[in-house]
A and B are shown apart, each in its own frame.
Chain A
């Protein structure tokens, strides 16, 4: 990575859906990154385990391409706290993670490590389809489907999230 991170993202969408075709809720950190691989400390090696314990999505690391955008349901990242569950998406080059809601510690871990996590209640009903291309403006929360006339308003980054995101990590900012 070089330069100042961009406050927007554009990419192909992966809707993390279950057998009923709806966004899956309550995807916990063990489904995102199983505890069998917690000993891995190199971020670059974590990508291959992303969703490794999520029924129907085990091949996600082979299918995803850098810049892709992942959209999932409510309470994403609940369960025991682990940075790996954020870092595995970073390793794959995922451009942004958009969820209906997130577990509290997961949300903090993502924000503090400057990974773009966008909270978008109702995104499951937005009309965005699997494989569409979307653009996301982190500052306004505006998500535009580039393949069909769908515009969705997610929560914009808070001032703190924006500051940490631009600085590259919590450790690079001073409290105000």
Chain B
């Protein structure tokens, strides 16, 4: 019996063939905790496993990204608690300078196609971008994983999603992602893995793949899994033998086809990430703030696309723009390429890497009634302030910042 990618990954880590619905114990290659939840992981570990060792400190990590650097005393105390625990157990901390944990683990080569990775963030399934299994879990689960390097998991059924056709020039990976969200809705993939195929995907680099994979959570999916292309493996510095693919005779519970050849730039209108509308219908919405960053669209290619549009231009009077690189590597490359300068001259605020406005919000919250265009991944009420958050691509974010209303074009 053939297996889908997620079935193969789980089978390899459970040491037995699996089928959807099986509940198995599986090995976890990487375990991590963020500053959100991390302190409770430490407390749980100390309470339930006093004096006991970690399963493998070398593949256990802390990543501080929610509130980086800490700007509240409770966060500072929680980070300190994690640092002390890490020192005691020989665990590496990617500290407040390093950026969004899920991205850092990919950048550091800790996560490879076929790896199993857990952490205390609801977007850990982003690892599907490189054909890996990632899962966000609660702090008890992660404490247990720290101790034993294993956990139980129910094998999900897999949906095959095929993106048909190639979109036009003005359509970004984020717009393709919106098309997928529109189709699946907020619970259309509940409890399922979604394997995604299509010629457009072949052209996505790591950043585009991360954008798409990061939105699995908002459809209820266990994970969006993107089979790695040869180009992606090269980008990750991996050989062809690291690829992972579904079997020819793998079984899917459903096959969904989405034609993206006629796609146009899209946005998610508050209060839901699956409330999708064409950007061109939103031109009467005036903008007060723009957020460029997050684990969905905070990579170099995302920020560079926005910077190219901002070069020589200025953010509109009355609009505040915030740029938060996903990681320190992204930030470094922006500096080298002179793009921090471009953002600065355009009048944007460029912050240190991390989750920025997406998490605890030290970069750029809105006040009541203010409209924000954000490249982050959730626009629930109160998530990025009391205002109204419209989710959009980096291109739409940059154009909206300059023109002061929601648009995907610098000129009509």
| Interface residue? B75 (CB, 8 A) | no
Known pairs A26-B187, A159-B23, A161-B23; A112 contacts B150 (CB<8 A): no
Complex contact B190–A108 (CB within 8 A): no
Complex contact B141–A170 (CB within 8 A): yes
The 0/1 profile, CB within 8 Å of B marked 1, for residues 82-121 of chain A is 0100000000000000000101110011001100000000
| Interface residue? A175 (CB, 8 A) | yes
Q: Which of A75, A105, A171, A176 contacts B187 (CB 8 A)?
A: A75
Complex contact A105–B148 (CB within 8 A): no
The 0/1 profile, CB within 8 Å of A marked 1, for residues 39-70 of chain B is 00000100010000000000000000000000
Complex contact A105–B137 (CB within 8 A): yes
Q: Which interface residue of A75, A83, A104, A171 has the most chain B CB atoms within 10 A?
A: A104
| Interface residue? A74 (CB, 8 A) | yes
| B residues near A160, Cβ cutoff 8 Å | 23, 25, 152
Give the shortest distance, in Å, between A173 (CB) and chain B (any CB): 9
The 9 closest A-B CB pairs, nearest first, are A158-B23, A175-B150, A171-B48, A160-B152, A160-B23, A175-B148, A175-B25, A75-B187, A81-B138
| Interface residue? A78 (CB, 8 A) | yes
Could you tell me how many residues of chain B have their Cβ less than 8 Å away from some Cβ of chain A?
Answer: 22
| Interface residue? A63 (CB, 8 A) | no
Task: Show 12 residue pairs from A and B whose CB-CB distance is below 8 angstroms, ordered by the A residue.
Answer: A74-B190, A78-B220, A80-B122, A101-B190, A105-B137, A112-B138, A158-B23, A160-B23, A170-B144, A171-B144, A175-B151, A176-B25
| Interface residue? B259 (CB, 8 A) | no
- Additional A-B contacts beyond A75-B190, A104-B191, A175-B148 (16; CB < 8 A): A81-B136, A81-B138, A83-B138, A83-B140, A105-B122, A108-B137, A158-B23, A160-B152, A161-B23, A170-B140, A170-B144, A175-B25, A175-B150, A175-B151, A175-B152, A176-B25
| Interface residue? B225 (CB, 8 A) | no
- CB closest residue in chain B, given A155: B21
| A residues near B220, Cβ cutoff 8 Å | 75, 78, 103-104
B interface secondary structure, majority: mixed
| Interface residue? A174 (CB, 8 A) | yes
Give the shortest distance, in Å, between B44 (CB) and chain A (any CB): 8
In Å, the complex CA distance between A174 and B220 comes to 29
Which residues, 147 to 164 on A, are CB-close (under 8 Å) to B?
Answer: 158-161
Give the shortest distance, in Å, between B380 (CB) and chain A (any CB): 9
| B residues near A101, Cβ cutoff 8 Å | 190-191
Which residues, 73 to 105 on B, are CB-close (under 8 Å) to A?
Answer: none
In Å, the complex CA distance between A80 and B36 comes to 12
- CB closest residue in chain A, given B40: A83
In Å, the complex CA distance between A113 and B154 comes to 17
| A residues near B191, Cβ cutoff 8 Å | 101, 104
Give the shortest distance, in Å, between A43 (CB) and chain B (any CB): 14
Which residues, 150 to 202 on B, are CB-close (under 8 Å) to A?
Answer: 150-152, 154, 186-187, 190-191
In Å, the complex CA distance between A78 and B185 comes to 14
In Å, the complex CA distance between A112 and B141 comes to 8
| B residues near A108, Cβ cutoff 8 Å | 137-138, 141
| A residues near B365, Cβ cutoff 8 Å | none
In Å, the complex CA distance between A112 and B148 comes to 15
| Interface residue? B222 (CB, 8 A) | yes
In Å, the complex CA distance between A174 and B138 comes to 18
Which residues, 7 to 59 on A, are CB-close (under 8 Å) to B?
Answer: 26
In Å, the complex CA distance between A18 and B412 comes to 47
Complex contact A105–B136 (CB within 8 A): yes
Give the shortest distance, in Å, between B273 (CB) and chain A (any CB): 13
- CB closest residue in chain A, given B143: A171
- CB closest residue in chain A, given B154: A158
Q: Which of A26, A78, A81, A174 contacts B148 (CB 8 A)?
A: A174
- CB closest residue in chain B, given A175: B150
Give the shortest distance, in Å, between B376 (CB) and chain A (any CB): 15
Give the shortest distance, in Å, between A153 (CB) and chain B (any CB): 15
Complex contact A105–B25 (CB within 8 A): no
Complex contact B140–A113 (CB within 8 A): yes
- CB closest residue in chain A, given B221: A104
Q: Which interface residue of B138, B148, B191, B222 has the most chain A CB atoms within 10 A?
A: B138
| B residues near A175, Cβ cutoff 8 Å | 25, 148, 150-152
Q: Which interface residue of B140, B148, B152 has the most chain A CB atoms within 10 A?
A: B152
| A residues near B122, Cβ cutoff 8 Å | 80-81, 105
Complex contact A109–B138 (CB within 8 A): yes
Complex contact A112–B154 (CB within 8 A): no
Known pairs A160-B25, A175-B25, A175-B148; A74 contacts B136 (CB<8 A): no
Complex contact B140–A112 (CB within 8 A): yes
In Å, the complex CA distance between A159 and B154 comes to 11
In Å, the complex CA distance between A171 and B140 comes to 8
- CB closest residue in chain B, given A81: B138
In Å, the complex CA distance between A74 and B25 comes to 26
Complex contact A78–B187 (CB within 8 A): yes
Give the shortest distance, in Å, between A156 (CB) and chain B (any CB): 11
| B residues near A113, Cβ cutoff 8 Å | 140
| B residues near A159, Cβ cutoff 8 Å | 23
Complex contact B138–A74 (CB within 8 A): no
In Å, the complex CA distance between A33 and B136 comes to 20
Which residues, 1 to 43 on B, are CB-close (under 8 Å) to A?
Answer: 23, 25
